[in-house]
Structure 1
Amino acid sequence: MAPPPMSSDASELRYVVVVDMDNDTQLDIIVANYGTNNMGILFGYGNGAFLKQMMISTDSNSHPSCIAIGDFNDDTQLDIAVVNDGTTNTDIFLGFLDIISYPTGSAPFTVAVRDFNNDTQLDRAVVNGNDNDMSVLLGYGTFPLFLVVADFNNDNQLDIIVANRGSSNVSVLLGYGNGSFANQITYSTGSSPFSIAAGGFNNDNRLDVVVVNSYTNEVNILLATINTVLSINHAIYSVGVNPTSIVAGDVNNDSRLNIVVANYGSESVNIIMGNTDGSFTNQITYSTGAGSFPSSVTAADLNNDNTVVIVVTNQGTGRLGAFLGFGHGTFSIIILFSMKHGSDPFCVITGDSNDGRTLDFAVANNGTDS
């Protein structure tokens, strides 16, 4: 097999890194394609030949100019930092799946990765071409991803709880009601909490928290206590592979909160029925379809018939999926809805956006920035 071409006139290849990205002891190649606004990965066979280049978009007019490699979230897997000369940010790709952007100066051109402050976390130094300066981004290793806002200590002030994927914990920031917050309190979770939801799972008039742990394929229930915001002890329930999104709601009309989880890796959703004491039983699994890779889930009564509809974004197929509820905790097979070509739906939420009589849902699309 001959090595595939890495560059063309359109791609304007600007930077090349050689490293073993997939832990198969074979060297791979990562390139920054300035002209086509993407990053290319060529996995090596070890004999001088490579797989066809896998393209990962860095966004429109980004013009990636430099690449650096490191484990930025302490999961022992290599991640990729890409500097985008056309914008004012640096993108971090965690395991090819998750992209996080960080602001820099104007026209960032080169990046270097080192531990500059001796805290065992990798930091990044970026040279900004138009500003004649340099940005230093200190790494914390926490990689916060999702948050939930509510009054968790019953003082009538809004608080924030953040799921920190890199440090495998959640941060609780209690609000003062004036826009400021107390120093964070952290509570341990399972490995790599990815998404978070809140609800009263045990009917004690206090909000509890549930998180999905994407690497250990489980959900953790952190119940509220009288003396602390959350308990240090938590119940664990297994779900599908690589869960990425979670929502709490009453899906079977028994006045108890249930949990719905979207599993990116096993292409499914799990419904876990809740009891009055904060425990959960009777898990049901529904397929989202081959190649669907569901990235986000929401559940709500969308048509005022006292039955819940579960909606998922299927990132793999670029479609929305809906499971129609029958009112007693069971659902139809998935109904698929096409999106605009290249939309790449990533996240879905529900809320009232108009007249207050019916709930609506909104979808965030990575591919069309809409």
Structure 2
Amino acid sequence: MIFLAQFCQITFVPVSFPVGSYPISIAVSDFNLDLKLDVIVANSGDNTVTVLLGNGVNNITKRIDFPTHRNPRAIAVFDFNLDNNPDFVVTSSTNNSVTLLLGNGIDNLIGQRSFPTGTNPQSVAVGDFNRDSKPDFVVANTGDNTITVILGNGVNSLIGIANFPTGINPRSVVVEDFDRDNNSDFVVVNSGDNDVTVLIGDGVDTIIKQQNFSTGLSPQSVALGDFNHDNNPDIIVVNSGDNTMTVLLMNGVDAIIGQKTFPTGANPQAVAVTNFNLDGKLDSVIANYDDNTVTMLIGNGIDKIIQNQTYPTGTNPCSIAVGDFNSDGRMDFVVANYGSNSVNMFLNMCH
């Protein structure tokens, strides 16, 4: 048990659930529209997506498995065809494609489409890049050092596709409006260059500016949040080469005003951010692949970590996502364990 300032005592109750073979990416959504959060996992070993329907407390009511293309690597959830039902998109590193799976709002799929990407796609994120109010997605391709931007038509197809160069070995991509011009921008982690690339979009179909910022060694995953409470999105990166988390404090345009480094566990592979201890300040949770743990870093809302705690997981945790799974107003998190074919759900007992 940890005492965190005057806000709450925070403990987590872990629950474990089996999934497919070698789960590698995890996301959360209300897949069946019952107002209870569900878990979606991409399984690279058996080429499936597992959906775990939650009961809104601490258990699963149903498990569903859907086939995908070979070697799925990353998953993102959104309503692609604007029917108010969650869909998901999965990258396939073997097929050099992304597969769109359209949900029916209950517990099944109503369609599946695939689109080409660059070589060896690893990560996928969603946004409206051309400001037509229709969801688009962006993919990071490690094989040819590019991102692929796919513009959707709001039904089940695309209206455009474009590739843009990144650094070496892009591993993770996220979307944000960094320069406050109401156009989507991208942040890409370049594992081979030990940096991140910020690509500023024009709100139509191209990139108008590109900036690189140094990180730790071999960055693997990126998340965004307002770490220092200045109303500007900051960049949070985990680095597997030196077992650290790098925080890049942004100026709300396209430059950094500070950089902080904090220790993690061994071989961190994924990071997610939220406010766990109810103090209104951003915290981070990190999946440490080599020591089978997650590290929780509690922030002070300025530029420091005030608590660093570790919790055991299954074998080789590699992906992490946050959400309120038991509907108690406290943020929980889930972890995909690559080596034990399971997910751990950590329920927040902060009080």
Secondary structure, counterpart of 2:159 in structure 1: coil
Shift of 1:351: 2.8
2:229 is aligned with 1:257: no
Secondary structure, counterpart of 1:237 in structure 2: strand
2:272 is aligned with 1:295: no
Q: 2:164 aligns with which of 181, 184, 187?
A: 187
Contact kept? 2:222, 2:236, Cα under 8 Å: yes
Shift of 1:194: 0.5
Secondary structure, counterpart of 1:223 in structure 2: strand
Contact kept? 1:286, 1:333, Cα under 8 Å: no
What are the within-5 Å matches in structure 2 for residues 294-313 of structure 1?
294-313=268-287
2:323 is aligned with 1:351: yes
Shift of 1:333: 5.1
Contact kept? 1:91, 1:101, Cα under 8 Å: yes
User: For 1:354 and 1:143, how far apart are their aligned partners in 2?
Assistant: 36
Q: 1:168 aligns with which of 140, 145, 149?
A: 145
Q: Which segments of 5 or more consecutive residues in structure 2 lack a partner in the other structure? A: 1-20, 22-43, 47-67, 74-91, 97-115, 343-351
Question: Which TM-score applies when normalising by structure 2?
Answer: 0.63
Q: 2:220 aligns with which of 222, 227, 244?
A: 244
| Cα deviation code 1:281-339 (max 9, x no counterpart) | 311001114xx110001111124320111100011100010100111131135311112
Corresponding position of 1:225: 202
Shift of 1:89: 9.4
| Cα deviation code 1:226-252 (max 9, x no counterpart) | 553433x31011111110000111111
2:245 is aligned with 1:273: no
What is the number of residues matched between the two proteins?
Answer: 245
Corresponding position of 2:259: 283
2:135 is aligned with 1:158: yes
Seen in structure 2, the aligned counterparts of structure 1 residues 280 and 316 have a Cα distance that, compared at 3 Å, is same
Contact kept? 2:248, 2:256, Cα under 8 Å: yes
Corresponding position of 2:107: none
Contact kept? 1:196, 1:211, Cα under 8 Å: yes
2:189 is aligned with 1:212: yes
Shift of 1:102: 5.2
User: For 1:190 and 1:202, how far apart are their aligned partners in 2?
Assistant: 21
**Of the two structures, which has the highest relative contact order with CA contacts closer than 8 Å and spacing of 6 or more?**
2
Contact kept? 1:153, 1:229, Cα under 8 Å: no
User: For 1:270 and 1:303, how far apart are their aligned partners in 2?
Assistant: 21
Report which of the two has the higher share of strand: 2
Corresponding position of 1:365: 337
Contact kept? 2:299, 2:307, Cα under 8 Å: no
- Please identify the structure whose Cα radius of gyration is greater: 1
Query: 4+ runs of 1 displaced by more than 3 Å?
Result: 88-93, 100-103, 226-229
Question: Which TM-score applies when normalising by structure 1?
Answer: 0.60
| Cα deviation code 1:5-27 (max 9, x no counterpart) | xxxxxxxxxxxxxxxxxxxxxxx
Contact kept? 1:344, 1:365, Cα under 8 Å: yes
Seen in structure 2, the aligned counterparts of structure 1 residues 287 and 253 have a Cα distance that, compared at 3 Å, is same
Contact kept? 1:152, 1:229, Cα under 8 Å: no
